[in-house]
């Protein structure tokens, strides 16, 4: 016996069992009687037993035939369901979108993106996993999520992932207007060791970017505190507590209103490269491609607003 049964033979067997006649089964299947007869003979040879008896012009299932019929009908129902589900996916029906993103993306990028995505795919099942860049890559690797909105590493690496570019942004050092550095417009290197810096979590891409910057500038980072979101960082800095880094598009209101003031440190720029990430070798669904396009459009709008 073959490891699997032929679906065409099962269709013929099911129709014959249901109609009780080769003539009627052939008509239902748009086949000739000889084609149905050949399918049944091949199925009996495959399973190694007689499935039906011919009584005059009608057929009657044997015990083996009755046993197989229950399985055949279940198999055919599952095949029909699979085809229906796939057709629903192709026609924009109930699709699945499993994504991961950090706090900044969740607050400033994804609300508009997911709102438009929901308009395009109203029946979509959307799952969002929050996390820092490193955790998102682990979730991608384990198959828990399919896409992540994160950052491309500053140096080539992570060969098991594909990074689809969205936009670039530049972090700025900022302080409160009452801070002494606000009047100077710059950060004196000699004063940095005594100042407290307010930074994102040390597990974040931005934290590593800032500390690498200090290291390359031969600056010792003395005191610092970690906060889990850009919003929390802004609120602490507005109180005059230390200095920190923010993305201008996340702090537009504060920078325009003067509650945060940009200050300069060195000549190098702190740039981040935003991307949608997926595992290499994986083909994106049409819904996932639409999500990437919406993220790119949101990124272009942010680049215009910060220029």
SS3 103: helix
H/E stretch holding 129 reads: strand 125-130
User: Cα separation of 83 and 89, whole Å?
Assistant: 10
Residues 152 and 123: beta-carbon distance below 8 Å: no
Is the pLDDT assigned to residue 127 strictly greater than 90? yes
List pLDDT tens digits, range 161-218: 999 999 988 889 999 999 999 999 988 888 887 888 999 888 888 888 888 888 887 8
SS3 266: coil
Per the DSSP assignment, residues forming a β-bridge with 128 are 99
pLDDT averaged over the chain?
86
Is the pLDDT assigned to residue 156 strictly greater than 70? no
Which CATH number applies to 96-165+277-306? 3.40.190.10
State what percent of residues in the chain have pLDDT above 90: 36
Q: Check residue 293 and give its pLDDT.
A: 95
Q: How confident is the model at residue 64 (pLDDT cuts 50, 70, 90)?
A: very high
Is the pLDDT assigned to residue 90 strictly greater than 80? no
User: Cα separation of 54 and 62, whole Å?
Assistant: 10
Compute how many other C-beta atoms are within 10 angstroms of the C-beta atom of residue 110: 21
The C-alpha torsion from 240 through 244 and 246 to 251, rounded to 10°, is: 0
- Least confidently predicted of 87-91, 142-146, 148-152: 87-91
Is the pLDDT assigned to residue 82 strictly greater than 70? yes
Compute how many other C-beta atoms are within 10 angstroms of the C-beta atom of residue 125: 10
Residue spans per domain, the chain? 7-81, 96-165+277-306, 167-272
List pLDDT tens digits, range 218-253: 877 778 898 888 889 999 999 988 899 888 888 889
- Taking the chain, what is the end-to-end CA distance rounded to the nearest angstrom? 70
Is there a common fold for 7-81 and 96-165+277-306?
Answer: no
- Least confidently predicted of 76-80, 87-91, 182-186: 87-91
Q: Check residue 289 and give its pLDDT.
A: 93
Which CATH number applies to 7-81? 1.10.10.10
Q: Check residue 301 and give its pLDDT.
A: 80
Is the pLDDT assigned to residue 157 strictly greater than 70? no
Please tell me the class of the 167-272 domain. Answer: alpha beta
User: Cα separation of 201 and 226, whole Å?
Assistant: 5
Q: Check residue 270 and give its pLDDT.
A: 84
Q: Are strands 261-263 and 161-175 parallel, antiparallel or unpaired?
A: antiparallel
Instruction: Decide which of 138 and 216 is more confident.
Output: 138
């Amino acid at each position: 016996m073959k490891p699997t049964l032929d679906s065409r033979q099962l269709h013929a067997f099911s129709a014959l069992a249901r109609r009780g006649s080769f003539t009627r089964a052939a008509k239902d299947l748009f086949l000739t009687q000889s084609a149905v007869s050949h399918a049944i003979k091949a199925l009996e040879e495959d399973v190694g037993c007689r499935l039906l008896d011919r009584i005059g012009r009608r057929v009657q299932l044997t015990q083996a035939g009755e046993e197989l019929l229950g399985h055949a009908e279940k198999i055919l129902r599952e095949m029909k369901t699979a085809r229906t589900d796939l057709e629903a996916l192709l026609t924009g029906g109930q699709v699945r979108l499993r994504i991961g993103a950090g706090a900044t993306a969740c607050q400033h990028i994804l609300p508009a993106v997911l709102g438009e995505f929901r308009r395009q795919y109203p029946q979509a099942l959307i799952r969002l996993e929050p996390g820092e860049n490193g955790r998102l890559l682990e979730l991608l690797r384990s198959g828990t999520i399919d896409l992540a909105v994160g950052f491309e590493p500053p140096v080539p690496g992570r060969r098991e992932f594909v990074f689809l570019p969205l936009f670039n942004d530049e972090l700025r050092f900022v302080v409160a207007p009452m801070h002494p550095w606000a009047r100077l417009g710059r950060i004196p290197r000699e004063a940095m060791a005594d100042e407290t810096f307010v930074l994102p979590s040390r597990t974040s891409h931005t934290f590593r970017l800032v500390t690498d910057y200090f290291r390359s500038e031969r600056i010792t980072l003395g005191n610092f505190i970690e906060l889990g979101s850009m919003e929390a960082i802004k609120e602490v800095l507005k109180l005059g507590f230390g200095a920190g880094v923010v993305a201008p598009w996340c702090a537009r209101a504060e920078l325009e209103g003067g509650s945060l003031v940009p200050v300069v440190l060195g000549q190098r720029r702190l740039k981040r490269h935003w991307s949608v990430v997926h595992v290499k070798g994986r083909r994106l669904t049409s819904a996932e491609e639409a999500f990437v396009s919406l993220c790119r459009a949101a990124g272009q709008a942010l680049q215009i607003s910060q220029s």
